Structure 1
C-alpha cells in the first residue's frame, strides 16, 4: 500500500540534541555555568564569598526587583548572600563584581560601554536580547567584572533568570515546590552566554475557566476570604506577584488575566501598575475588547445591552474609559467584538458593522494616545470561531493589527497564514488550548495534551510566520506545568527543538526538577509521554464504560494493565526520592498519573461490571466493589494533594471530573452506576458460565449477544489463525451463583492445548481464564475441534457445555517480508514503512509519541514545494508491504483504514488536506478527510 502524497499543510498518520548531564539545570539554552573552578571562568561564589552585584539607581524598577531575586537565588544555591548595591561609574571595588544593566537606561552600563568600547551590536536594538560576558577593566578602579546587559528591560530580566536556572533554581521553585540543588561553588564561563531576539515576540498564557480550583485556592491564600469589593475576586496583586515572576522565569512576557467573576483592573488598583513594574505586557482575551473585562466590567459599569448596532455610544464610552485607564502601561489591545458572555454576536451582525467597530476602536486609540501613531500601538484581532468566518467572508482589519489565529479548541489549528498573508506589518499569532470549557465536553481537570502534538501544530505556526503573539489557555495553570513550560520555551527559541528531540526536553526537565540521573530522567520522559498519550486517546472527561472495547483484542484489559504499569513505574521513582523532592514530583508527575489511572481503571471496571451482569457472572459483584473503591480513591487522591505541604495547594484539585452529563462540568463528582448479581441465588442456566473471547455472550442459557434470535442459539464458535499476535483465545469459566464447582476443559484433538484444563470456581474465586493455543505443526489448512467444559457441582446434576474451535493455518509465501493478515486484518504502525520516497526535498518523517500508540508520520518540511500541492502519485510517498488472504482477484474487497490526526485545512477552505492511497496497481483513491465547513461551525461557538 502506498500513501502517495498529501495536499495541504500538515498531516500525521497513525497506524495502530540536546545532552542532559546531572547538575546541568538549564533546559534548551546554551549553558555558561559550571560548578568547578578553571582558568576560564568567573567566580560567582567560591570559598565562601560571593561576587557583589552592582546596578545603577536609574535602572528600570523591574530590573532592580529581578536583581534582588537573582541575589536570593544565589543564596538558595550556595548559602551565601551577595550584596546588591546601587552604584555609579565612580565605584571602586576590591572584589570582582557582577554589573547588571539595560542599554539605553542604565548609566552604569553606558559608562562600561564607553570606557571599554565593548561591542554590544549583538543586542543593541534587539527585542529582549541579552549578553553575559566577563570584561576586563570595565570601570576605572574595577579590574574585571561579569557584565550582564539587556537590550531592553526584559532582556536584562531574562538574563538574570536564565543564569538563576543554570545555577539550579527552577522556575517552578514556588509554583511546584521544586527544591534547589545546593552548590557551594558557582562559576560563569568568561565568554559568557547570550540570546538574541525570541522566536515569538509576545509569549504568554491565559488564566481561564478558573473556578472552582484556582479561584478557591487564591481566595484562601491571598485574601481574608472576601475578595475584591466590587467583584469578590481573589486575583489581587499578591496573586499576580507570584504569577508575574513565574512568567518571567519561563521567558514569557504577555498575560491574559483571569476573567470569570474577575476584572484585572477593578479587582485591585495595584494590578495594572504591578504588571508594568514587573515588565509584563497585559492583554485581554479574544472576547474582551479595549482592555476591559467582559462580562464582569460591563455588568458593573455598562449601560444598556452589549450591542453595537443598538447601543453604540454607551459601548464606545465604555471602551474609551478602558483605554484611558490602560494608557500608562504596556498592553496589547484586543480589537473587534463578540457577544456578551463569549457568545457569537447576533445573527443580524454583519461585516460592515464589525468593520465599523474596529474603525471606532482605532479612533479611540488615536484620541487617547494623542500624538502617537495608531499603527505603533500593539493591537490584535482574534480570529476565533465565528470571527474566522467573518474573515473568510471578506472582512479585513488594518495591516498593523496582528491576526491571532485560533485552534479548534482541541489543539488543532483551524487556519494559519498563507504566503500572501506573510508580509502584514502586524504579523500573525496563535491562540492555543490546554484547557477548555465548551462543547462537546469541557476538559479542565488533568494534563491531556501531547507535547508532540503541540510541537507539530506550533512548528507550522513558525513555518508560516505566525510568530507575533502566542497565547495558551492554561486554565488553573496546575497541573499543566510541563506543557506550559514547553509552550513558552518553544516560543522563546524554536530552533532548539525538533520532532526528534522533544523527549530530551522532558528528560532535562526531570533532571532539573528532581535531580535525577539521566537514565531515570529518561524513564520520567517516557512516563509523561505515555500519560498524555493515554489521556489524549480520549480526554478523561469523555471517558465512559465503552470507551475501550470490552470484548475485542483485549483492549480494555490492556489499557487497564497499561495504567497499572505506568503507575507502578511512577511510584517506584517517587518512593526512591528524598522527602524534599517528593512534593514536586507528586504535583507534576505522580498525581497526574495516579489520578488519571484511577479514573481510567474505574470506567473500565464499570464497563466490565455491566458486561458481567449481562452474562450472569458472579464476578460482576467484585467489579462493582472495585468501581466503588476506585471512586473513593479518586477523592483520597485529591485530598492527598490538598494536604500536601500543610495545605499549600488546598482547592487546586477541586475540579469535578467524574460522570459528565453534557458539555459543562458536573456539579458534583458522581459514581457511575453499577449493578450487582444476586449472590445467593444461582443463575437459571446453572452454576457454570462459559464466556469466550470476542463475544459479549455467555453460555449456557439465552443471551441477546449469542445470535440474532437471542434464544436457542448454537454453542459458541471460536476462531484463531496463525498470525494473531497473542496466538491464543481465552474462555472465561465463571460462577453463576453461590454454588462452588470444579471443572474440566477437554478437546477431541491433540493440536489444541487448553491451559488450565481443570480448576475450581467459587464465590471467593468467581472465575478462571482458560487459554486455548494451537500447535500449528499439527494443523494444515482449516481444521475444527470441539471443546467440552464439564462441571461437577456438589448436590447438583453434572453440567456440560460444548464450544467449537476453528484453527486456520494461514501461510505466507516463502521469502515474503512485510505484514501479514491476522484475524481478518492487517494493522501497521505508521513508522514501520517498507519504503519512503522523497520528492522536492520532502519526505515522510516520524513524530515519536504522537497518537494513540507508537507514533505518527508527517511530510517534512511543511514549507516544501513552495506550499503547493502535488497531484496524486507525483508527491512524496510512503509504502507498506503487506499480505492479505482475501484478494481482489479472488473476488473479495480490501478496505484500507488510515488513522489520521485531526489536522484541519489551515491553508484555507479552498485548500483542503487530501491524501491519496493506492493498493498494488489499482487506481489511487484521493480522500479529503476534513469536510468543508464554514469556520465557527466545526465546533460549538461557545468556548473559552
Structure 2
C-alpha cells in the first residue's frame, strides 16, 4: 500500500514544551539559570563506581541519547570513592563553564551520594523523603551539592530502579520517547537543555509494586520476527529469544517505569534458551517471573519437554518434578524473582478433571518447602504468587487457601473485564493481591490477537476498581507480540505507576501528552490524539476477529454506512496528518496511528461490502457484481497494508503483522486469511420484472417482482412503504434507491400527487450501467402537516422500460405537551444515552458519574467507586429519565438496559441494579449469572463478551403520555451505556449499536 498523497501543507516542528507524560517538568529548552548543555558545552555526568551495574548501564543510555538529542556527546566521570570517603578524594571539576553536571546515585549504594549527604546536611532532609522506599527518587537542582561540584542536577534514587527511572525521566523530558526503538519514534533535537531551579521531579513509591507485561501467544508474529532478527543463521528448534532480544524488552520496560516480565511460554524457555538471560534481566534491573501456569520459575511446557522426565503429575512423578523445580529455584536464586506456585496441566489446561483441592494443596506445600530449603530462608520472605486463573479460581471459591504471604493474582475474563475484586478480609493479606490483565487472548469464544482494539476508558475503570479494592501488588498484562499494543501498554504502565494522576476525566490529556511526546508537534498533537481516540473506539466496538458481514445492520438506522463513513473520514484525516509530518516521523506514525486506522477501515469495509454483495444478490441488483469486485480489492488491500508495514525501515518489522484475522470459523485463528463469501449475478441477464430495481430504507426486500423479504408469504406482496416519520424522528428523512437489474440502461420518474408536504431530493434520473445507483431522500415540511394528524403520500415510480411500482410514506405529526421536557418516542422507540439523565440523586455521598468516551457509543455511567457500598433495590443512588410515549403494548413498555459485560466481582454480592418506571416498585436485575462452581463462566458469556454488551429486559406498566424511568445503583462496578424503551411490539429492529438517541424537547 502507498499512502494517498493529499495536498501537503507546511508543518514546522516547534517544540517548546518538555515531552514527558504524567509528571512534573524539570527541564526547559529556553535559557534559564542552570544549563545542563549549551551550544558550546556538552553535558557532564557524574556517577560513582560503587553504584548498581544497572544504574551505570542506564547512565550510558543517558550519554548516548543526549548526544542524539543535542549533537554533543556528554562527558561521563566514573568516580571511585572509598566507603566513608572525604572531599579530598573528589576529582577536579571538568571544564564545563556555563553548565552544571548531572550527578547520579543511589542512596546507600553510591559513595558519592553518601559523601554529599555528609558534607551538605540539608541533603539529609531532601533524601529523607525517599530513603527506604520502594523505587522512589528525586531529581532537582541542588546548590552546594558537594565541594568541587557546586550546583548540580541530582538524580537520586532510594534503590536502583528509583535511580534508573530518574535517568529515563530526564531523557523523556529531553525528547526521547520510551518507544524510540520499538516504535521508531525519532529523537527530538535541542541544542540547549536547562534545569528549572524551582521544580522537583520527585516520585514516591509507585501505586502498584510490580508492573509488567507477559509476551504470549507469540506465534506467528513475534516468533517469526525473532527468527529473522536474532538467529544469526544458527540452527535451533526454538526461536532465538536470547539476551539480545530481551535487552530491548528490558530497556523498554524501564523507560516505561515497569519492572516485571513474564517471558514467552509457548516457544521459549527463558532460562535455557540463553544461559545469560536471567543474568541480563537482573543486570538491567528487571524482576523475572513466569506465567500463571508455569511454576517455580521454569518454563512449561517447553522446558519440561526438554529437560523433565516422566509425566507432569505430582503423585506419579514427585521426585522428578521436585528436582526440576529445585533446579529452577537455584537458577533464579541469585536474582530478583517472583515464583509462581501451584500447578496446572500441560498446555495451559486444568490439572485434572475433578478439581482435586487436596492435591493442589500438597503441591503448594511441596513447592514452599523447595523454596525454603533451596534458598535457605523462610518461604514467607520469598516473593510468590498464586494466579487464580480459570479452574484455579474454582478451587479458591470452594475453599482452597494458600499462606498469607503469597500474592493472590486475580485474572480478568481474558477480555478486559475484572473477574474478582479482593473482599474485605483479603485486603489485609501480607502478600497482597494483584491483577492479571489481557490485551491479547487465545481461546473461546474467539481469539483476540490482531490490532489495537483497546479503549483506555474501559481499562481505566476496571483497573481503578481493582486498585480501590487493594489489588496493588502486581499488575501484569498479556500483550501477545507486544506490537501493535504499544499505546495500550504505555497507558497501562503510566496508570500503574501513579493511579492518582489519570482519572476518567483526563484521559484526553493523556492522549494529547502522548501525541506530543511521540510526534513533537504542538500543532498536530490534538488531531493525532483525536485520531487515536476514534480508531481505538471503532476497533473496540467489535474486534476484527468477531466481525462478519452482518455485524452492523445493512438496512436499519443507516448503521453500516454510518460506521463506514466514520472510518473513511478517519482515514482521510490520518492521511493528512501523515503527509504533513516530516518524513522522519512517517515510520512511527504509520506503526502507531496510520496502520491501525487504514487496516481497521479496510477490514470493516471488506465485511460491510461483502454483506451488501449478499443483500444485493437477493434483491436481483446488478450492483451485486460491483460489490464483489470491491470486496476482492479490499481483501487484497488488506495484504498490501500488511506488506507496507513489513517493508518499513528496510524490513525492520518483517513478520510482525502476520497475524491472521479474516475468516474465523471457530475460536482459533484461521490458518490463512479468508475473504468473506461473495456472490455474483449473471451480468447479461435482466431481472424478470424489468431492468429497474427499487429498494427502500428499513427493508431487505426489492421491487417490482417477488422477494422473500417483502412480506410474510414472499409473493403477491404490496408495494413497499418506508418507516413512518415524525417530528421527533432522530433521522429526519427516509430514502429509496433506484438501481439496475440487468445490462439495459433506463430512465425513471418519481411522481407525488396530493402531498405538498413531501419533498424528494430527485424526481427522476438515468441508470446508465449496472453499477449505477441513485438514492432519493424524502423529507417532510412539518409546517404543511396539520398537528395531531397522520398524512400518507404515495410516490409513483415509472421506468422507461419494465414494470412500474410505488413507495408509501406516512408523516405522523404527533404532538407533545408544551410543559414536557425529556425524550420523545419515535415509532415505538425511546432511545437514551445514559449520561443524559433528567435528575440524579446521591445516597450515602455516592453519586452516579459519567464515564466519558466509555463503550460503543457516546459514554457510560457508573456509581462512584466507593468500596463496600451496596444498597437494596430502590434505595441506592439513582438517575431518572423523563420520556413521553404515544403507544404502549397493552398498557406496558419493555425497557432494555445496555450494560457493559461486567462480572460478579465481589463474593456473595452479585453485580445488580434496580429499574422502575414511574411509581412502580423497583425491580432488581442481575445481568450476569455467577460463575460455575468449577470456576467457569456462565453459559451466556460466549455470546455477550464479543459484543462488549449485555442486554437485560424488564416490562413495566406505562400507557401513552409522560413517564419517568429510574435506574438504581445496587453494587459498585455496574456500568450502563444505553437504555431503549419499546412501546410497540417489534418496534426495535436489529442493530449492533442500538437505535440512535431519541430527540429531547
Distance in 1 (CA, whole Å) between partners of 2:816 and 2:368 is 71
Structure 2 SS opposite 1:873? coil
Say yes or no: does 1:324 pair with 2:322: no
Distance in 1 (CA, whole Å) between partners of 2:811 and 2:174 is 65
Structure 2 SS opposite 1:553? coil
- The answer to whether the 8 A contact 1:226-1:232 is kept is no
Say yes or no: does 1:214 pair with 2:208: no
Say yes or no: does 1:873 pair with 2:874: yes
Q: How does 1:807-846 map to 2 (within 5 A)?
A: 807-846=811-850
Match of 2:407 in 1: 402
Say yes or no: does 1:59 pair with 2:51: yes
Match of 1:4 in 2: none
Structure 2 SS opposite 1:495? coil
Structure 2 SS opposite 1:732? strand
Structure 2 SS opposite 1:210? coil
**TM-score between both structures, scaled by the size of structure 2:** 0.89
- The answer to whether the 8 A contact 2:218-2:267 is kept is no
Structure 2 SS opposite 1:380? strand
What does the per-residue CA deviation read over 1:809-866, in whole Å, with 9 as the maximum and x for residues that have no partner?
1111113221111132111111111111112221111111111111111111332xxx
- The answer to whether the 8 A contact 2:144-2:150 is kept is yes
Q: How does 1:225-240 map to 2 (within 5 A)?
A: 225-226=233-234, 229=236, 231-240=237-246
Match of 2:978 in 1: none
Distance in 2 (CA, whole Å) between partners of 1:134 and 1:710 is 82
Q: How does 1:279-290 map to 2 (within 5 A)?
A: 279-290=285-296
Match of 2:772 in 1: 766
Q: How does 1:316-355 map to 2 (within 5 A)?
A: 316-355=322-361
RMSD: 1.7
Structure 2 SS opposite 1:912? coil
Distance in 2 (CA, whole Å) between partners of 1:709 and 1:226 is 69
Match of 1:510 in 2: 515
Match of 2:958 in 1: none
- Specify which of 625, 649, 660 is matched with residue 656 of structure 1: 660
- The answer to whether the 8 A contact 1:23-1:515 is kept is no
Say yes or no: does 1:787 pair with 2:785: no
Match of 1:3 in 2: none
Q: State the Cα distance separating 1:38 from its structure 2 match.
A: 2.3
Distance in 1 (CA, whole Å) between partners of 2:882 and 2:521 is 42
Distance in 2 (CA, whole Å) between partners of 1:514 and 1:144 is 33
- Specify which of 451, 456, 460 is matched with residue 455 of structure 1: 460
Distance in 2 (CA, whole Å) between partners of 1:885 and 1:616 is 38
Distance in 2 (CA, whole Å) between partners of 1:97 and 1:613 is 74
Match of 1:937 in 2: 936
Structure 2 SS opposite 1:929? coil
Say yes or no: does 1:49 pair with 2:53: no
Q: State the Cα distance separating 1:145 from its structure 2 match.
A: 2.0
Q: How does 1:353-752 map to 2 (within 5 A)?
A: 353-370=359-376, 372-517=377-522, 520-718=524-722, 719-748=724-753, 749-752=755-758
Match of 1:256 in 2: 262
- Specify which of 302, 316, 319 is matched with residue 313 of structure 1: 319
- Specify which of 167, 171, 190 is matched with residue 178 of structure 2: 171
Say yes or no: does 1:903 pair with 2:895: no
**TM-score between both structures, scaled by the size of structure 1:** 0.94
Structure 2 SS opposite 1:273? helix
Match of 2:887 in 1: 886
Distance in 2 (CA, whole Å) between partners of 1:311 and 1:247 is 38
Structure 2 SS opposite 1:309? helix
Distance in 1 (CA, whole Å) between partners of 2:431 and 2:832 is 45
Q: State the Cα distance separating 1:256 from its structure 2 match.
A: 0.3
Q: State the Cα distance separating 1:525 from its structure 2 match.
A: 2.0
Distance in 1 (CA, whole Å) between partners of 2:812 and 2:607 is 35
Structure 2 SS opposite 1:923? coil
Structure 2 SS opposite 1:575? helix
Match of 2:17 in 1: 23
Distance in 1 (CA, whole Å) between partners of 2:689 and 2:888 is 43
- The answer to whether the 8 A contact 2:916-2:923 is kept is yes
Q: State the Cα distance separating 1:785 from its structure 2 match.
A: 2.0
Q: State the Cα distance separating 1:22 from its structure 2 match.
A: 4.9
- Specify which of 861, 864, 875 is matched with residue 860 of structure 1: 864
Say yes or no: does 1:36 pair with 2:27: no
What does the per-residue CA deviation read over 1:876-909, in whole Å, with 9 as the maximum and x for residues that have no partner?
1111111111247xx332111111011111112x
Bigger Cα displacement from structure 2, 463-472 vs 835-844: 835-844
- The answer to whether the 8 A contact 1:448-1:533 is kept is yes
What does the per-residue CA deviation read over 1:151-184, in whole Å, with 9 as the maximum and x for residues that have no partner?
1111110000011000110000111111111111
Cα 1:927/1:799, change in 2 over 3 Å: same
Distance in 1 (CA, whole Å) between partners of 2:269 and 2:586 is 36
Distance in 2 (CA, whole Å) between partners of 1:564 and 1:143 is 59
What does the per-residue CA deviation read over 1:115-158, in whole Å, with 9 as the maximum and x for residues that have no partner?
11212111110000011233333333332322211111111100
- The answer to whether the 8 A contact 2:458-2:854 is kept is yes
Distance in 2 (CA, whole Å) between partners of 1:805 and 1:83 is 81
- The answer to whether the 8 A contact 2:822-2:838 is kept is yes
What does the per-residue CA deviation read over 1:391-417, in whole Å, with 9 as the maximum and x for residues that have no partner?
000000000000000000000011010
What does the per-residue CA deviation read over 1:410-468, in whole Å, with 9 as the maximum and x for residues that have no partner?
00011010122110000000000001111111111100110011100001111011010
Distance in 2 (CA, whole Å) between partners of 1:709 and 1:154 is 74
Distance in 2 (CA, whole Å) between partners of 1:439 and 1:468 is 29
Distance in 2 (CA, whole Å) between partners of 1:335 and 1:253 is 20
Structure 2 SS opposite 1:734? strand
- The answer to whether the 8 A contact 2:704-2:804 is kept is no
- The answer to whether the 8 A contact 1:58-1:107 is kept is yes
- The answer to whether the 8 A contact 1:752-1:772 is kept is yes
- The answer to whether the 8 A contact 2:435-2:466 is kept is yes
- The answer to whether the 8 A contact 1:845-1:860 is kept is yes
Distance in 2 (CA, whole Å) between partners of 1:426 and 1:433 is 23
Q: State the Cα distance separating 1:21 from its structure 2 match.
A: 8.2
Distance in 2 (CA, whole Å) between partners of 1:142 and 1:714 is 94
- The answer to whether the 8 A contact 1:439-1:939 is kept is no
What does the per-residue CA deviation read over 1:14-49, in whole Å, with 9 as the maximum and x for residues that have no partner?
xxxxxx98532000011111112223xx32102421
Q: State the Cα distance separating 1:226 from its structure 2 match.
A: 4.1
Q: State the Cα distance separating 1:661 from its structure 2 match.
A: 1.0
Distance in 2 (CA, whole Å) between partners of 1:138 and 1:331 is 36
- Specify which of 901, 924, 929 is matched with residue 922 of structure 2: 924
- Specify which of 195, 203, 223 is matched with residue 195 of structure 1: 203
Cα 1:668/1:420, change in 2 over 3 Å: same
Q: How does 1:84-163 map to 2 (within 5 A)?
A: 84-87=76-79, 88=81, 89-94=89-94, 95=96, 96-117=100-121, 118-119=123-124, 120-163=127-170
